[in-house]
Amino acid sequence: MQIRNATDFSLKHTLESGQSFRWNLIDDAYYGVVEGRILKICQIGTTLCVESSATEDKTTFVPFLQHYLDLGRDVPKILTQVNNDAYMHRAIDKLWGMRILNQELWETVASFILSQNNNVSRIRGIIRRLSERFGEQLILARYVDYSFPSPEALATTTEDELLACGVGYRASYLRDAAAAVVSGELALTAVKEMSYPEAKRELMRRKGIGEKVADCICLFSLGHLSALPIDVWIKRIFETLYFRRRATYHEIREFAHAYFGDRVGYAQQYLFHYVHECPNWADVEHLALIETSITACGRES
DNA sequence: TTCCAGGAGAGAG
DNA sequence: CTCTCTCATGGA
């Protein structure tokens, strides 16, 4: 199956930017599991070639995939709004076409609970082992993978089995969240209908979900583009480039919304992925010295 | 060996 | 409110 006219879209930047942990690049095609089926996607120009392990109805599958990849959004317009300085200009130029995915909610909740105090490659390994152990086997041609474990599967296992997958001290957080979904205490269908502040507050009631993880869930699953996950790198960027001093999370949040506007989540993702792709910290500091359009922040007490 | 990674909870001040 | 310590794990 094909999707044409995927303009201003980069499959590579989108799937490799650390918002999903499930995609593997094999011979120019990305293989991943999305909502219970393996997808194989490759991009040739503005055309996406897609294969699925499931039998798909084209009339529903194409809109589903377009929504997952956020293809319906006017991303160039957003990037114009957040292209405020030399550093953002470089990030946007380097990562043109990167989009923020709309991922399945439970998988996103569980994945970012596991992300705390962890690194991307290890998070990927944990999720792969959890899926192999607690998910269902899927096959597309010679590619074998496993669906993301259901809340029921993770709620009824033991912490020892989770530890064997390498989740570490996050085992109790993961099991508690799964149990809350099963019991209905965490109503995911209701969370999907909530506003950004409501959804964030509801998610943060769970142990293991703080501000940053809740913002990742709101941004990478619920489409709340004003969500701003502040990890150590984003904090470092804002402090070096825009504040030139230590800043609290509250200060960064306030400044970022004023500086980038209500699509700050998109700006954040370009900053996050760019600093990981091009970890030239001296360059950041150099830009901080020559940048003049951003001196408004951090002057008052 | 120590440090770090898409942090958060608990406690102290 | 802010600061600090700890948490399990593996790669650098």
Residue A140 domain flag: no
Q: Which of residues 113-172 of A touch strand B (CB under 7 A)?
A: 115-122, 169
Protein-nucleic contacts, chain A 9-38 to strand B, CB < 7 Å:
17-19
Full domain range(s) for residue A295: 74-97+225-301
Residue A124 in tokens: 């990927």
Record the pTM: 0.95
Residues 184-213 of A with CB under 7 A from strand C: none
| A83/A185 same-domain check | no
Strand C proximal to A168 Cβ, under 7 A: yes
Q: Give the CA-to-C1' distance from A145 to C1 in angstroms.
A: 47
3-state SS of A193-217? Answer: HCCHHHHHHHHCCCCCCCHHHHHHH
Nucleotide nearest residue A118, measured CA to C1': B5
Q: Which residue has the tokens 């506003």?
A: A195
Which three-class secondary structure state does DSSP give residue A92? helix
Instruction: Answer yes or no: do A238 and A216 share one domain.
Output: no
Q: Give yes or no for a contact between A159 and A171, defined as CB atoms under 8 angstroms apart.
A: yes
With a 7 Å cutoff on the CB, does A233 touch strand B? yes
User: Does residue A276 sit within a domain?
Assistant: yes
Helix (H) or strand (E) holding A160: helix A159-164
Domain boundary among A220, A235, A253: A220
A111 and A90 part of one domain: no
Percent of chain A with pLDDT over 90: 88
Residues A111 and A17 in one domain: no
pLDDT tens per residue across span A226-275: 999 999 999 999 998 989 889 999 999 999 999 999 999 999 999 999 99
Q: In this structure, are A113 and A205 located in the same domain?
A: yes
pLDDT at A295: 46
Q: Which nucleotide is nearest to A173 (CA to C1')?
A: B8
Is the C-beta atom of A231 closer than 7 angstroms to strand B?
yes
Structural domain contains residue A9: yes
Q: Measure, in angstroms, how far nucleotide B9 C1' is from residue A208 CA.
A: 8
Task: Give the pLDDT confidence of A78-128 residue by residue, as tens digits.
Answer: 999 999 999 999 999 999 999 999 999 999 999 999 999 999 999 999 999
Number of domains in chain A: 3
* Residue A240 host element (H or E): none
Please tell me whether any atom of strand B lies within 7 Å of the Cβ of A236: no
CA distance A177 to A111: 11
Domain of residue A118, CATH code: 1.10.340.30
Do A58 and A87 lie in a common domain? no
